[in-house]
Amino acid sequence: MEMVYQTSTGDNAKFLKRRAKLKKKKNLNKKATGKSLINSLESVGRVTNAIEMENKMMGNPKATKTIVDELANRDQSLTKEDLELNTVDKLPGALFEFVWVARTECADNGCSNFNDFAEGFNILSSIDGLNVSSEIFKEGSPWNIYEIFAASMKGLMEIDSVLTDIDKFKSDKIEENDLLYFYVALQKNALQIIKTSVNQKRIKEMSFDQLKTDMASVSASKQVKEAFKKEGVDIGEWEKTLKPIGKKLMAFQSTFTKEAVDEYRSSSEQLLTTYQKLFNHFEKKVETSGFPNGASDLVKLLEDVKNEFFADHLQVKEGNLKNLFPIVLQLNEQFRAILEIKRAIDDFDVIRTVQKIRTFFEGALAELEPFSTILSLFDCDNMFEEIYDVVWVRENDLIVKNEKPLKNFIEKLKVPEFEALPELLEVFRNMTGFSKAIREFGKFDEVKDELKTFKQQLNENGFDSIERFLEYSNIEKLIEYASKMRKPGKFLTCIPNQEALKKAKDRFGGKVSMSNLQSLETIKVDKILYFCHFMKSYWNRIEKTASIKKPKNKASANSSLADGTSRKLNEAIHIFVGLKRRTHPKQFPSGIDGIRSLVKHPLQIDGNVDIELRRISRFLVDLGAPFPKKEDATVLEQMLMEFANGSLTLEKGKKSLENVMLYFGQLSNETGSGLVVVSDKPHVKDLSMYGILLICLSCFVWVGLMVKSVYDLEKNKVKKNTK
């Protein structure tokens, strides 16, 4: 293997001299902890990896994209279309509509205290026998037929008036000024008589029982008032609570449309799907491109090149190191921003946040739905107006009293097929010349004969009882009242039937609340908005990084380290990471001397084997010349290969630790130092056990450090006894 670097001998000589003076002065009494020395080892590994990564990416965009995808833990087959970011973008807007209506309608706890309304609502739903229908006045109802019957009978009562008017007209006894009145009355009465012929079938089908029931439901308002009075609730004050609640409900219902709900649900679900696609491995630390912790290791390079180990002990300037991997440094800059986005996204706790919002939303929607069963109540702040109980009761009593003669007359009613009367009506269709046409009408006698015959039939069937009934009836007033009671906000359009009230009560459980709807105002839409923004930014930065441009200046050296050698070095060096957590705060000299002291630190294995990690210091001392040069690269390569290909078997141990660094078996420069090493396979190259090896080695280091203090105490005792 060969590494070629361009350096200036003169520059290096000056640098060495200046650095040596500074080092001597600076390190006079300087101490370093074991952790800082191990940090230097880690920096060596990361810089070595950066050199190898640079070689892979140089002039190879495909390799660059692969490395970027690995560092970002991104599925390489993932496309922007797969993320459906446009659907996700709709979520903040959809959520804001729900949050805004909650904040507006529930301001100052406006959705949390419905005690007054709930009390009145429970009274309504508890009234026994309350049977109120909003459909008693609709087309085809018994009341509607009763109106038609009354109007038809009043028309038949005008038959005598029609006969009298015809006689006056024929004898010219009608004054010119009264002719218009005559024409109008004649047309109206003739038309009403003919209508009776058309309506007689419907009149015969009228149900008196249902008519009486429907009329009684109008007077149920009295029953409602009495129920409120009995419970000590002012019905007028209760009515005042309706409008505000109704306004809130309408606002919520107009916001919770099917389209809005569907849009929220789809965009919310897509957000979670997109999140999983982008950040499914976010919590995992995956070894990537030789960096055990992926991009989070890569971004440490800017600090690594500043490590005093390179400057003070390897005499390598920061600028020279940076020149070895310019493309990697571009990735470093890009991934700093990418990792910052990842940290921000992690702070959002996206899945829990979305699930919490979903709980709020579905709870609010479930709370809103039962209100639809009593929606007619909320526009009823003056529903008892225009209800005259006495008039309705009188009419009902009158029908009950005359039900038998009314039924008999209706049963016998048979309107004849008029011939001349319809022809008379045709005369009035000529709006411009009907005055002349009616004077020329030649069938007045036939009309009179038809009407007289029909009147005689009516009298024979007991029409006089109908006339007496209508004389006492308040039907005209009731028709007027009924037209007003049909309007929204009145009693019959507000109070549903008892069955609906009971269903609503079952849904509400006797309680009326909008607490779930009010909870929507606590949703932090800005968090979702920012998250959506960060997802886009994250994707765009990954895309930008994957297509990173080659730097203007090529790397000042082309490392020939290949075949994963530098990765093996980095893996080996990271064995020492555990030392940072386990070493006591013992002070060491800085730099090479400190590392030498550190690796001399004795480890006791199985209570019998002492190991001084000494040989690594020799490699590092050998690298103390101006770096990097071809000769130094050879030394470095030798160290890497010994890291990668060594093996060690402990005499007292039961397990063979294959593929561990060879120098662990040759760390002591002294014969008989207490190190017992038996190597059956000194150069095993099979790396299949490498993962197990690293775990075992970590245990190896940890156990040694744990027993160090015991070892020191025993050693001191021996010295004392020797003395």
- pLDDT of res. 183: 80
User: From the centroid of its chain, how far is CA 667?
Assistant: 61
- pLDDT of res. 400: 94
The pTM of the full predicted model, rounded to 2 decimals, is: 0.56
Cα–Cα dist 535/270, whole Å: 13
DSSP annotation of 556 reads: S
- pLDDT of res. 492: 80
In this structure, how many other beta carbons lie within 10 angstroms of the beta carbon of residue 628?
22
Encoded tokens for 704: 């040694």
- pLDDT of res. 456: 93
- pLDDT of res. 573: 45
Query: Following CA atoms 634, 635, 636, 642 in sequence, which dihedral angle do they give, to the nearest 10 degrees?
Result: 110
Q: How many residues would you count in the chain?
A: 723
Bridge partners of 31, per DSSP, are 589
Residue matched to tokens 């600028």: 319
- pLDDT of res. 208: 93
- pLDDT of res. 700: 40
Which amino acid belongs to residue 621?
V
- pLDDT of res. 598: 53
Cα–Cα dist 559/54, whole Å: 9
DSSP annotation of 590 reads: S
- pLDDT of res. 404: 93
- pLDDT of res. 14: 53
Encoded tokens for 51: 């050199």
Cα–Cα dist 464/452, whole Å: 16
Encoded tokens for 312: 């003070």
Rg over alpha carbons for the chain, rounded to the nearest Å, is 50
Mean pLDDT, consecutive 10-residue stretches, the chain (723 aa), reads: 34 51 48 61 76 81 84 76 87 93 90 82 81 81 92 90 85 76 83 87 91 84 88 89 88 94 93 82 56 80 82 70 84 86 82 91 91 79 78 91 93 89 81 72 89 92 92 91 83 74 72 87 88 86 78 54 41 40 51 54 36 38 40 49 35 27 30 27 32 38 40 46 46
